[in-house]
Amino acid sequence: MHIAVGDLLRQEVSAETPLGVRVAEYMTRGELVPDGLIIDALTPRLVAAEGFILDGFPRTLAQAQTADEAIALDVVVHLDVREQELRRRLLARAALEGRADDTPDVIARRLRVYADATAPLIELYRERGQLVEIDGEQAVEAITDQVLALAQQALSPSAG
Protein backbone atom coordinates (compact mmCIF):
# COMPACT_ATOMS: atom_id res chain seq x y z
CA MET A 1 0.00 0.00 0.00
CA HIS A 2 1.24 3.49 -0.89
CA ILE A 3 0.31 6.14 1.68
CA ALA A 4 1.26 9.66 0.56
CA VAL A 5 0.74 12.12 3.38
CA GLY A 6 0.40 15.11 1.03
CA ASP A 7 -2.32 13.28 -0.96
CA LEU A 8 -4.17 12.43 2.26
CA LEU A 9 -4.09 16.06 3.33
CA ARG A 10 -5.23 17.34 -0.09
CA GLN A 11 -8.22 14.96 0.09
CA GLU A 12 -9.12 16.37 3.52
CA VAL A 13 -8.83 19.92 2.18
CA SER A 14 -11.04 19.31 -0.85
CA ALA A 15 -13.65 17.48 1.27
CA GLU A 16 -13.54 20.44 3.72
CA THR A 17 -13.29 18.16 6.74
CA PRO A 18 -12.36 19.75 10.11
CA LEU A 19 -8.78 18.52 9.59
CA GLY A 20 -8.78 19.86 6.02
CA VAL A 21 -9.85 23.29 7.21
CA ARG A 22 -7.03 23.34 9.79
CA VAL A 23 -4.26 22.26 7.41
CA ALA A 24 -5.16 24.21 4.26
CA GLU A 25 -3.31 27.42 5.08
CA TYR A 26 -0.06 25.72 6.03
CA MET A 27 -0.10 23.84 2.74
CA THR A 28 -0.85 26.91 0.64
CA ARG A 29 2.05 28.73 2.29
CA GLY A 30 4.43 25.79 1.77
CA GLU A 31 4.93 25.26 5.50
CA LEU A 32 4.77 21.99 7.34
CA VAL A 33 1.50 21.06 8.97
CA PRO A 34 1.98 20.76 12.79
CA ASP A 35 3.22 17.32 13.84
CA GLY A 36 0.20 16.52 16.03
CA LEU A 37 -2.26 16.94 13.14
CA ILE A 38 -0.11 14.79 10.84
CA ILE A 39 0.15 12.02 13.38
CA ASP A 40 -3.61 12.06 14.05
CA ALA A 41 -4.31 11.83 10.32
CA LEU A 42 -1.84 9.02 9.76
CA THR A 43 -2.39 6.74 12.74
CA PRO A 44 -5.74 5.16 11.70
CA ARG A 45 -4.39 4.44 8.20
CA LEU A 46 -1.26 2.76 9.50
CA VAL A 47 -3.16 0.63 11.97
CA ALA A 48 -5.28 -0.68 9.09
CA ALA A 49 -2.32 -1.45 6.79
CA GLU A 50 -0.13 -4.55 6.91
CA GLY A 51 2.81 -3.19 5.01
CA PHE A 52 3.19 0.17 3.37
CA ILE A 53 5.33 2.64 1.54
CA LEU A 54 4.97 5.83 3.50
CA ASP A 55 5.60 8.83 1.25
CA GLY A 56 6.38 12.22 2.75
CA PHE A 57 6.80 11.07 6.36
CA PRO A 58 8.72 11.59 8.62
CA ARG A 59 9.53 15.18 7.72
CA THR A 60 10.62 16.42 11.17
CA LEU A 61 12.62 15.05 14.07
CA ALA A 62 9.43 14.82 16.16
CA GLN A 63 7.78 12.75 13.43
CA ALA A 64 10.86 10.49 13.31
CA GLN A 65 10.52 9.97 17.07
CA THR A 66 6.85 9.07 16.61
CA ALA A 67 7.82 6.66 13.85
CA ASP A 68 10.30 5.00 16.23
CA GLU A 69 7.67 4.54 18.90
CA ALA A 70 4.73 3.57 16.72
CA ILE A 71 5.83 2.07 13.41
CA ALA A 72 9.41 0.70 13.36
CA LEU A 73 10.33 1.55 9.77
CA ASP A 74 12.26 -1.21 7.97
CA VAL A 75 14.04 1.04 5.53
CA VAL A 76 14.19 4.76 4.77
CA VAL A 77 14.56 5.87 1.15
CA HIS A 78 16.07 9.18 0.16
CA LEU A 79 15.26 10.15 -3.44
CA ASP A 80 18.10 12.49 -4.26
CA VAL A 81 17.39 15.27 -6.80
CA ARG A 82 19.25 18.55 -7.36
CA GLU A 83 17.37 21.71 -6.39
CA GLN A 84 17.45 23.09 -9.91
CA GLU A 85 15.81 19.91 -11.22
CA LEU A 86 13.24 19.99 -8.39
CA ARG A 87 12.24 23.53 -9.34
CA ARG A 88 11.97 22.54 -13.00
CA ARG A 89 9.74 19.55 -12.18
CA LEU A 90 7.48 21.45 -9.81
CA LEU A 91 6.94 24.27 -12.31
CA ALA A 92 6.19 21.68 -15.01
CA ARG A 93 3.66 20.04 -12.66
CA ALA A 94 2.06 23.45 -11.96
CA ALA A 95 1.19 23.67 -15.65
CA LEU A 96 -0.40 20.20 -15.55
CA GLU A 97 -2.09 20.05 -12.14
CA GLY A 98 -2.35 23.64 -10.97
CA ARG A 99 -1.34 22.88 -7.39
CA ALA A 100 -1.48 26.08 -5.32
CA ASP A 101 1.93 25.35 -3.75
CA ASP A 102 3.77 24.89 -7.07
CA THR A 103 4.45 28.60 -7.57
CA PRO A 104 8.04 30.00 -7.55
CA ASP A 105 7.65 31.71 -4.14
CA VAL A 106 6.06 28.74 -2.43
CA ILE A 107 8.54 26.31 -4.02
CA ALA A 108 11.37 28.43 -2.57
CA ARG A 109 9.77 28.24 0.88
CA ARG A 110 9.21 24.49 0.61
CA LEU A 111 12.87 23.97 -0.30
CA ARG A 112 13.94 26.06 2.72
CA VAL A 113 11.61 24.12 5.02
CA TYR A 114 13.02 20.88 3.60
CA ALA A 115 16.62 22.01 4.21
CA ASP A 116 15.86 23.14 7.78
CA ALA A 117 13.42 20.53 9.08
CA THR A 118 13.71 17.42 6.92
CA ALA A 119 17.23 17.13 5.47
CA PRO A 120 18.80 16.53 8.94
CA LEU A 121 16.87 13.24 9.08
CA ILE A 122 19.04 11.86 6.26
CA GLU A 123 22.07 11.80 8.55
CA LEU A 124 20.05 10.31 11.40
CA TYR A 125 18.91 7.34 9.32
CA ARG A 126 22.34 6.97 7.68
CA GLU A 127 23.98 6.66 11.10
CA ARG A 128 21.47 4.00 12.04
CA GLY A 129 22.17 2.03 8.87
CA GLN A 130 18.53 2.36 7.75
CA LEU A 131 19.09 4.72 4.80
CA VAL A 132 18.99 3.75 1.14
CA GLU A 133 19.82 6.53 -1.31
CA ILE A 134 18.29 6.43 -4.78
CA ASP A 135 19.20 8.73 -7.63
CA GLY A 136 15.88 10.52 -8.14
CA GLU A 137 16.94 11.86 -11.53
CA GLN A 138 16.62 8.48 -13.21
CA ALA A 139 13.55 7.48 -15.25
CA VAL A 140 10.36 7.09 -13.20
CA GLU A 141 10.16 3.36 -14.03
CA ALA A 142 13.71 2.70 -12.81
CA ILE A 143 13.03 4.47 -9.51
CA THR A 144 9.72 2.65 -9.06
CA ASP A 145 11.43 -0.72 -9.59
CA GLN A 146 14.07 0.07 -6.99
CA VAL A 147 11.56 1.25 -4.38
CA LEU A 148 9.31 -1.78 -4.93
CA ALA A 149 12.28 -4.12 -4.65
CA LEU A 150 13.14 -2.58 -1.28
CA ALA A 151 9.54 -2.95 -0.11
CA GLN A 152 9.46 -6.58 -1.27
CA GLN A 153 12.70 -7.25 0.56
CA ALA A 154 11.29 -5.71 3.74
CA LEU A 155 8.13 -7.83 3.52
CA SER A 156 9.98 -11.10 2.97
CA PRO A 157 13.64 -10.63 3.90
CA SER A 158 14.62 -14.25 3.22
CA ALA A 159 13.42 -14.11 -0.39
CA GLY A 160 15.83 -11.40 -1.43
Nearest distance from residue 158's CB to ligand AMP, in Å?
A: 32
DSSP track, 24-38: HHHHHHTPPPPHHHH
Using the rule CB under 6 A, which residue among 13, 30, 77, 150 binds ligand AMP? Answer: 30
Q: Which residues contact 102 (CB under 8 A, 6 or more apart)?
A: 90, 91, 93, 94
56 lines the binding site for ligand AMP (CB under 6 A): yes
For the four alpha carbons of 32, 52, 71 and 128, in that order, the dihedral sign comes to negative
Using the rule CB under 6 A, which residue among 3, 26, 78, 86 binds ligand AMP? Answer: 26
52 lines the binding site for ligand AMP (CB under 6 A): no
* Straight-line distance from the first to the last Cα atom of the chain, in angstroms, rounded to the nearest whole number: 20
20 lines the binding site for ligand AMP (CB under 6 A): no
Distance (Å, rounded) from C-alpha 106 to C-alpha 7?
A: 18
Nearest distance from residue 6's CB to ligand AMP, in Å?
A: 2
98 to 127: interface string for ligand AMP, x by CB under 6 A: ---x--------x-----------------
How many other CB atoms are found less than 10 A from the CB of residue 116?
11
Which residue is at the shortest CB distance from ligand AMP?
6
